[in-house]
Chains A and B, each alone.
Chain A
Amino acid sequence: MTLDQKLVAFRTIFYKEVVRFSRIWIQTILPPVITTSLYFVIFGGLIGRQIHAMEGVRYMDFIVPGLIMMSVITNSYSNVVSSFYGAKFQRSVEEILVSPTPNWIILSGFIAGGVARGLVVGGVVTVVSLFFSRLHVYNLWVSVSVVLLTAVLFSLGGFINSIFARNFDDISIVPTFVLTPLTYLGGIFYSIQMLPEFWRRISLGNPILYMINAFRYGFLGISDINLDLSYGIIIAFILVLAAISLYLLDRGYGMRS
């Protein structure tokens, strides 16, 4: 395939993914917006009033970046896992597998689709947050780069999950038992400085903590974690997960006999 043809193939997969989640926006975009709005109302508006400032920032303003990031993580992941597993389940994935589209283009297309949904939902949640908080951006480049990289990382995670999944239960196990606990314990609602030494050290083993803190730094200029370390961890995870994804695609794991 020429470069132009590869570009057409990439655009096709990306466009297909965007059309898919846009067509079912009531299932894909609306629910996370409603859920996050409830967080804003309950944790920020009602309970948050009783909580003193966190690292010098109003509690509501403190939790907003984490909640935006949570919606980006969940939606990037679930877009790829459900779309690719759905294609596997219906065997329509064979449409791509028999074509000359290289595996790295297939992967890039699905990841771009996951990133697109993550960013759309994250964008809508950001707009909703304006009704509850005085959002300001401390460092736009950090905010944008961290949210993009995180969306890529979790799209890759969703892709790997979909390859190993053998039934629809398998695509909800990781989000329910791994992703959600790690996200909640990743410092959305609190600073890890508040934790006892032991739990603080344990928390440092949670990769999502680095993403949420780096993203929060982009908005508020405060972080529990060194920014360079956060970037390093996110990029390292992306490289490892991308390599695993490509290896699985090359082997045709779960797709080729």
Chain B
Amino acid sequence: MTPALSIRNLTKTYKSGYTALKGIDLDVNPGDFFALLGPNGAGKSTTIGIVTSLVTKTGGKVSVFGHDIDTDFSKAKSCIGLVPQEINLNIFEPLIQILVNQAGYYGIARRRALERAEYYLSRLGLWDRRNDAVRTLSGGMKRRMMIARALIHNPRLLILDEPTAGVDIEIRRSMWEFLHEINAAGTTIILTTHYLEEAESLCRHIAIIDNGLLVENTTMKKLLAKLHTETFVLDLRMPLMQLPPLPGHDIRMLDDHTLEVEISRDSGINKLFADLSARNIEVLSMRNKTNRLEQLFMSLVEGSRQHRAAGRRRQA
């Protein structure tokens, strides 16, 4: 099966001498919903820039659905739709005009472009604003407009670089729903985000980049299985004066109505509830202290940094 995106030994050193990518290998399968994560400056946007030809690579090979971006750039570019991190819309142009023009750059005639523009603007809740200039839109509307623009030529691979940054939760949820829909319809999606909850709820595969290197590349399921413990916060019905001894549980009192407990994957949560119940402590509600993926992400990135630091010490 030809991968939707294939990256081999990708390197990038900027003119300033800064090496953003140090040899990345990555495959994204057709139809996948793929998360590309990493801290700021890790190399995510550089990778996306190279795939979409906005950044020139120093070395390596990239192909999109089997089309090499160097030798078969026209077909490779036709397969990609890009939602960039920064808003790059012409603020003076009306929405409908931007979409028709964008379709035109892909050789799509005006009539068909207008039909598609109507569809995507309606789907993204922007049809009523079609004749307004971009500068009159809110931040969330601009983000949705960039998604419509990226989809106007019906790309097989949609790349979203932090598409929901600065978007309120309601719009973010509706954007997730829409992305789920187009992924279900067959569009491969690559997503970078700082909202790890977003990656966890949307993506099936995940790669983590740190300092220009891939530190993880696996399925979301396998990655989350690596999490040995989870921290939960329990809200209590009645105030507690003092925490009774609970042998076998790593538990702390945050205040008289709240407990924090570390649960190992092996022990499960039933025993904790049984022990609390035996001591007449009633739990009203429970929540994860941190997002599971966030916990893992931090440990992986931290691990990779410690590994690099140890390497540097050995060299010294």
Interface residues, chain A, with chain B CB atoms under 8 Å away: 1-2, 4-6, 8-9, 11-13, 16, 19, 86-87, 90-92, 94-102, 252, 256-257
Of B84, B91, B106, the contact of A100 (CB 8 Å cutoff): B106
Between A and B, 9 residue pairs with Cβ closer than 8 Å are A1-B74, A9-B106, A9-B107, A16-B97, A16-B101, A94-B84, A256-B53, A257-B49, A257-B54
Q: Chain A residue with minimal CB distance to B20?
A: A257
Determine the residue in chain B with the shortest Cβ distance to A95.
Answer: B102
Q: How far is the CB of A16 from the nearest CB of chain B, in Å?
A: 5
Give B28-70 interface residues, CB cut-off 8 Å to A. Answer: 46, 49, 52-56
**B80, CB-defined interface residue at 8 Å:** yes
A4 B107 Cβ-Cβ under 8 A = yes
In the bound complex, what is the Cα–Cα distance between A100 and B109 (angstroms)? 15
Chain B contacts with A in 65-122, Cβ cutoff 8 A: 73-75, 77-78, 80, 82, 84, 86, 88-91, 97-98, 100-102, 104-109
| B105 engages A92 (CB within 8 Å) | no
Q: Which residue of chain A has the shortest Cβ distance to B79 in the bound complex?
A: A100
* Distance between Cα atoms of A256 and B97 in the complex (Å): 25
B152 to chain A, nearest CB (A): 10
CA distance A256 to B80 in the complex (A): 17
The 5 closest A-B pairs by CB, nearest first: A5-B107, A12-B104, A99-B105, A91-B88, A92-B90
Question: Told that A91-B88, A257-B46 touch, could you supply 11 new A-B pairs with CB distance under 8 A?
Answer: A4-B107, A5-B106, A90-B88, A90-B89, A94-B88, A95-B98, A95-B102, A98-B54, A98-B82, A100-B106, A252-B56
Contact A97–B88 (Cβ < 8 Å): no
Contact with A along B5-25 (1 / 0, CB 8 A): 000000000100000000000
Instruction: Give chain B nearest CB distance to A26 CB in angstroms.
Output: 14
Chain A contacts for B14, CB-based, 8 A: 257
**B149 CB to closest chain A CB, in angstroms?**
7
Instruction: Return A163 CB to nearest CB of chain B, in Å.
Output: 16
Instruction: Collect the chain B residues with CB atoms within 8 Å of residue A101's CB.
Output: 105-106
- Which of A8, A16, A96 is the one whose CB lies under 8 Å from B108? A8
Are B88 and A92 in contact, CB atoms less than 8 angstroms apart?
Answer: yes
The interface residues of chain A lying within 8 Å CB-to-CB of B77 are 98-100
In angstroms, Cα B73 to Cα A87, docked, is 22
Is the CB–CB distance between B104 and A9 below 8 Å?
Answer: yes
A99 and B84 form a contact (CB under 8 A)? no
The answer for the CA separation of A237 and B88 in the assembled complex, in Å, is 34
Among B52, B86, B105, point to the contact of A91 (Cβ < 8 A): B86
- A16, A19, A100 — most chain B CB neighbours (10 Å): A100
Known interface pairs A92-B88, A92-B89, A92-B90; A12-B56 also in contact (CB < 8 Å): no
Q: B14, B56, B84, B105: which has the most chain A beta carbons within 10 Å?
A: B105
A257, B107: Cβ atoms closer than 8 Å: no
A residues within 8 A CB of B56? 252, 256-257
Contacts of A97 in B (CB 8 A): 53-54
Task: Name the contact of A1 in the complex, choosing from B49, B101, B107 (C-beta under 8 A).
Answer: B107
Of all chain B residues, which has the CB nearest A90?
A: B90
Total residues of chain B contacting the partner, CB 8 A: 34
Complex: chain A residue closest to B51, CB-CB: A98
Which B residues lie within 8 Å of A87 (CB)? 90
CB distance from B110 to the nearest CB of A (A): 8
Which residues of chain A come closer than 8 Å to B54, judged between CB atoms? 94, 97-98, 256-257
Residues of A within 8 A of B84 (CB): 91, 94
Contact status of A11 and B101, CB under 8 A, knowing A87-B90, A98-B82, A100-B75: no
Question: Within 8 Å CB of B82, what residues of A?
Answer: 94, 98
- Inter-chain CA distance A12–B107, complex, in Å, is 9
B74 to chain A, nearest CB (A): 4
Across the interface, name the chain B residue whose C-beta is closest to A3: B107
Complex partner residue of B105 from A2, A96, A257, CB under 8 angstroms: A96
Q: Determine the residue in chain A with the shortest Cβ distance to B81.
A: A98
Chain A residue with Cβ nearest B88: A91
Per the bound structure, the CA–CA distance linking A90 and B86 in Å amounts to: 10
Closest beta carbon of chain B to A14's beta carbon, Å: 10
- Give the most central of A4, A13, A87, A97: most B CB within 10 Å: A97
The chain A residue with its CB closest to the CB of B90 is: A92
Chain B residues whose C-beta falls within 8 Å of the C-beta of A86 in the assembled complex: 90
Interface pair B55/A98, CB less than 8 Å apart:
no
B77: nearest chain-A partner, CB-CB: A100
CB closest chain-A residue, reference B91: A90
Given contacts A98-B82, A252-B56, contact A8 B88 (CB under 8 A): no
1/0 contact trace for B133-176 toward A, CB 8 Å? 00000000000000001000100000000000000000000000
Contact of B101 among A95, A98, A102, A252 (CB under 8 A): A95
Q: How far is the CB of B135 from chain A (nearest CB, A)?
A: 10
Chain A residue contacts of B107, Cβ below 8 A: 1-2, 4-6, 8-9, 100
CB pair A98–B89 under 8 Å, yes or no, is: no
B52 to A, closest residue via Cβ = A98
- Provide the bound-state CA to CA distance between A150 and B46, in Å: 41
